[in-house]
C-alpha cells in the first residue's frame, strides 16, 4: 500500500501504489456502503471518487490539493468499501496513505505541530505518560477542571467537539495495565498459552472490559501473558497520517510479542486487531518477511479466537436478555470477522440475538472523526440508533472501545433504554463467579 518511489504528483514517501488505484473499474458497488457518500451525495466523497482523485494525482492530472486533503480526512476509514468491492480495491487504505501525504504537502503551524508531536510521538507511545495524563481527567471528572478539554483543543478539532468529548467520557477508573498480572493462570483443563494485547483506550477507558477478556480467556483454559511494556498499536498515528511513529511502535510490539512464548496474540479491541494484522504491510521494508508472517499468523480478535478454539459453554450461567449486535468497522470490514461474535452471543444460555438492520453500518465514531465532524457523526449515529431502537433488544453489544464510547453516549443522549456492552462484558456476566 505504500511506496517509496515518487509517483506522479505525490511526494515520494508513503504514496499509494499505482496498481492499487488502477484496480478500480468504477462499477460503483461501493457507493451504497459509504457513510460519507450517504452524507453528501457527492461523488468525490465516495470510495470510487476518492480512488479517482488519488489516480489523478498519480497521473499528474491534479495537484495534491486541499480538497484531496479534506477527502482523506473526511473518509472514516471504515473500510465498508473494502468489503463491498468485488475488485479488491481498498479505498480507505488509499486515503489513509493520503493522510500522511497531506502532512507532507500542508505542514501544520508551529503550535499545532508541537502539540501533535507531543501527543502522537510522546504521550501516546508511552504507556506511563498516557496513564498519568489521564489522571487529571479523572480529577476533572471529580473536580470539574476543564483540563482535557483545553489540551485537546490544540489538535485543531472542530468547535462542537468539546461538549461531545466531555459527554462521551465514561466515568474513569484506574488504568488497567498496572493491575493486570503478567501471567494469569488457566482455569480447568489447560488448552494453551496466549499473549494478550491490551489497547490504550481499553486500559484507560474500559478497564472493566479487558479485565473480563482476561477472565474469559483464563476460564476457557488459557494461560494469559500480558506484557507490561506493550505500546500503542499505532492505529491513532495511521489515522492522523503519522506513519513513521506508527512504524516505530509496530517494530517495538513486533519484537516484544515475538519474544513471548505464546501460541496466539489476542486482543479485544477491533481497532488494535486491525492495526496488528496490517503490520505486515506497514513494515514491508522494515522487518524480515518471515518474522512478519509469524506475527501475523498469531493475531486474533478474541471472538475469532474463541470460535476457532471452540467455546466451552459448560458452567456458563443463564442471562435472560435480548441482545442486538453492532459490528465495529474494524472487525467486520477490516478483519472480515462477522459471524463469530454472533455465534458467541447465541451460545450464551438464555440470550436471544435480535439482528438490527444495517448492523455493519458505521456508528460514526471512527477515532477522532466523530469529534472533528461532530455534526456529521451525529447523523451517522442517528441512523444507527434508529436501527437499534427498531430491534427492540434490551442490550446493545459491540466489540470495539470507540464504538462503545460513541454508542453509549448516543443511547444516553437519546434516552434509549439499552445497556451498551462489549461482547466480553456480556460473556463475562455469564461466567461463574471467580
Partner 1 sequence: MISSTAIAHLKEKLGDANVLHEKEDLLTLGYDSTPGVHHLPEVVVYPTSSEQVVAAMEIAEREGLPLTPRGSGTGLSGGSVPVKGGMVLCLTRMNRILEIDEENLTATAEAGVITLDLFNAVAAKGLFYPPDPGSQKISTLGGNVAENAGGLRGLKYGVTRDYVMALKGVLADRSLIATGGKSVKDVAGYGFKDLLVGSEGTLGIITEITVKLIPPPQDKRTILAYFDDVRTAGEAVSRIIAAKIIPSTMEIMDRAVINCVEDYVKIGLPRQMAALLLIEVDGHPAPVAEEAAGVRKILEEVKAAEIHVARDAEHAAGLAAARRTALSALARVSPTTLLEDATVPRSRLAETFGEIERLREKYQLKVGTFGHAGDGNLHPTVLCDERDHDEMARAHAFYNELYEQVLAWGGTVSGEHGIGLAKKEYLARQIGPGGVQVMKRIKQTFDPQGLLNPGKIFDEGDPCTKAHVEEGFRVSH
Please report, as ranges, the residues that interact with partner 1 according to CB under 8 A. 19, 22-29, 31-32, 41-44, 46, 48-49, 52-53, 56, 59, 61-62, 65, 67-68, 71, 85-88
Q: How far is the CB of 62 from partner 1 (least distance, A)?
A: 6
- By CB under 6 A, tell whether 29 contacts ligand SF4: yes
Looking at the DSSP bridge assignments, the partners of residue 396 are 324, 420
> Which CB atom, from 89 or from 396, has the smaller least distance to partner 1?
89
Alpha helices for 174-242 (secondary structure H)? 200-205, 207-219, 235-239
Q: Considering the complex, state which of residue 275 and residue 348 has its C-beta at the smaller distance from ligand SF4.
A: 275
Bridge partners (DSSP) listed for residue 322: 352
CA distance 234 to 249: 6
Nearer to ligand SF4, 32 or 112 (CB): 32
Q: What does the angle CA 168 – CA 232 – CA 192 come to, to the nearest 5 degrees?
A: 105
**Given the C-alpha cell 474500559, which residue does it identify?**
206
| Alpha-helix residue ranges (DSSP H) falling in 107-153 | 110-116, 127-143, 147-153
Contacted by 159, from ligand SF4, partner 1, none: CB < 5 to 8 Å by type: none
Q: Tell me if 282 contacts ligand SF4 by CB under 6 A.
A: no
> Do 184 and 214 meet the contact criterion of CB atoms below 8 Å apart?
yes
- The CB-of-90 to partner 1 minimum distance in angstroms stands at 12
CA distances in angstroms from 36 to 72, 107, 372, listed in the order given? 11, 25, 14
**x/- contact string, 59-98, with ligand SF4 (CB under 6 A)?**
----------------xxxxxxx--xx-x-x-xx--x---
Query: In the complex, what is the shortest distance from the CB of residue 97 to ligand SF4, in angstroms, rounded to a whole number?
Result: 12
The residues with which 341 forms a beta bridge, in sequence order, are none
| R_g over Cα of the chain | 21
Q: Which of 4, 6, 22, 27 is the binder for ligand SF4 (CB under 6 A)?
A: 27
19 binds, among ligand SF4, partner 1, none (CB under 5 to 8 A by kind): partner 1
Within a 10 A sphere around the Cβ of 412, how many other Cβ atoms? 13
Assigned C-alpha cell, 93 = 487504505
Indicate the residue among 84 and 232 with the shorter CB distance to ligand SF4. 84
Residue 35 interacting partner from partner 1, ligand SF4, none (CB closer than 5 to 8 Å by kind): ligand SF4
Between CA 323 and CA 398 the distance in angstroms is: 10
Stretch in the footprint of ligand SF4 (CB under 6 A) among 31-39, 254-262, 294-302, 344-352: 31-39
The residue from 24, 194, 254, 272 that contacts ligand SF4 (CB under 6 A) is 24
Contact 16, 58 (CB under 8 A): yes
In terms of residues, how long is the chain? Answer: 434
- Taking CB under 6 A as the rule, does residue 102 contact ligand SF4? no
Shorter beta-carbon distance to ligand SF4: residue 45 or 226: 45
In the complex, least distance from residue 341 CB atom to ligand SF4, rounded to whole angstroms: 20
SS3 183: strand
Cβ distance to partner 1 smaller for residue 18 or 147: 18
CA angle 164, 170, 175 (to 5 degrees): 130
Q: What is the closest distance, in whole angstroms, from the C-beta atom of residue 81 to partner 1 in the complex? A: 12
225: closest CA among 256, 269, 188? 256
Q: Which residues bind ligand SF4 (CB under 6 A)?
A: 24-30, 33-36, 47-48, 50-51, 75-81, 84-85, 87, 89, 91-92, 95
Amino acid at each position: 500500500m505504500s511506496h517509496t518511489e515518487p509517483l506522479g504528483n505525490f511526494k515520494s514517501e508513503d504514496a499509494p501504489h499505482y496498481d492499487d488505484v488502477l484496480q478500480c473499474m468504477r462499477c460503483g458497488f461501493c457507493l451504497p456502503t459509504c457513510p460519507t457518500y450517504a452524507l453528501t451525495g457527492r461523488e468525490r466523497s465516495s470510495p470510487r471518487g476518492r480512488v479517482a482523485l488519488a489516480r489523478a494525482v498519480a497521473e499528474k492530472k491534479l495537484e495534491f490539493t486541499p480538497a484531496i486533503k479534506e477527502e482523506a480526512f473526511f473518509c472514516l476509514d471504515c473500510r465498508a468499501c473494502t468489503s463491498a468491492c468485488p475488485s479488491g480495491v481498498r479505498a480507505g487504505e488509499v486515503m489513509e496513505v493520503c493522510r500522511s501525504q497531506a502532512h507532507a504537502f500542508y505542514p501544520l503551524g508551529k503550535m499545532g505541530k508541537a502539540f501533535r508531536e507531543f501527543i502522537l510521538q510522546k504521550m501516546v507511545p508511552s504507556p506511563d505518560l498516557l496513564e498519568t495524563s489521564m489522571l487529571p481527567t479523572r480529577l476533572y471528572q471529580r473536580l470539574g477542571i476543564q483540563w482535557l478539554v483545553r489540551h485537546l483543543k490544540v489538535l485543531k478539532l472542530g468547535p462542537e467537539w468539546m461538549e461531545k468529548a466531555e459527554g462521551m467520557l465514561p466515568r474513569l477508573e484506574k488504568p488497567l495495565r498496572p493491575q493486570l498480572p503478567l501471567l494469569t493462570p488457566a482455569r480447568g483443563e489447560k488448552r494453551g498459552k496466549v499473549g494478550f494485547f491490551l489497547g490504550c483506550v481499553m486500559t484507560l477507558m474500559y478497564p472493566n472490559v479487558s479485565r473480563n477478556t482476561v477472565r474469559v480467556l483464563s476460564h476457557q483454559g488459557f494461560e494469559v501473558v500480558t506484557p507490561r511494556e506493550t505500546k500503542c498499536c499505532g492505529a491513532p498515528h495511521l489515522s492522523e497520517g503519522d506513519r513513521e511513529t506508527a512504524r516505530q511502535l509496530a517494530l517495538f510490539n513486533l519484537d516484544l510479542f515475538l519474544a513471548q512464548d505464546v501460541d496466539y496474540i489476542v486482543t479485544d479491541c477491533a481497532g488494535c486487531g486491525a492495526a496488528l494484522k496490517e503490520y505486515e504491510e506497514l513494515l514491508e521494508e522494515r522487518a524480515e518477511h518471515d518474522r512478519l508472517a509469524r506475527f501475523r499468523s498469531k493475531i486474533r480478535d478474541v471472538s475469532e479466537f474463541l470460535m476457532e478454539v471452540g467455546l466451552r459453554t459448560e458452567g456458563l450461567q443463564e442471562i435472560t436478555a435480548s441482545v442486538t449486535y453492532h459490528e465495529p468497522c474494524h472487525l467486520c470490514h477490516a478483519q472480515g470477522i462477522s459471524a463469530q461474535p454472533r455465534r458467541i452471543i447465541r451460545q450464551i444460555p438464555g440470550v436471544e440475538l435480535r439482528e438490527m438492520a444495517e448492523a455493519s453500518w458505521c456508528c460514526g465514531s471512527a477515532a477522532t472523526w466523530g469529534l472533528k465532524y461532530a455534526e456529521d457523526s451525529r447523523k451517522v449515529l442517528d441512523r444507527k440508533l434508529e436501527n437499534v431502537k427498531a430491534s427492540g433488544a434490551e442490550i446493545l453489544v459491540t466489540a470495539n472501545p470507540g464504538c462503545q464510547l460513541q454508542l453509549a453516549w448516543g443511547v444516553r443522549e437519546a434516552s434509549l433504554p439499552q445497556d451498551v456492552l462489549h461482547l466480553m462484558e456480556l460473556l463475562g456476566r455469564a461466567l461463574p463467579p471467580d
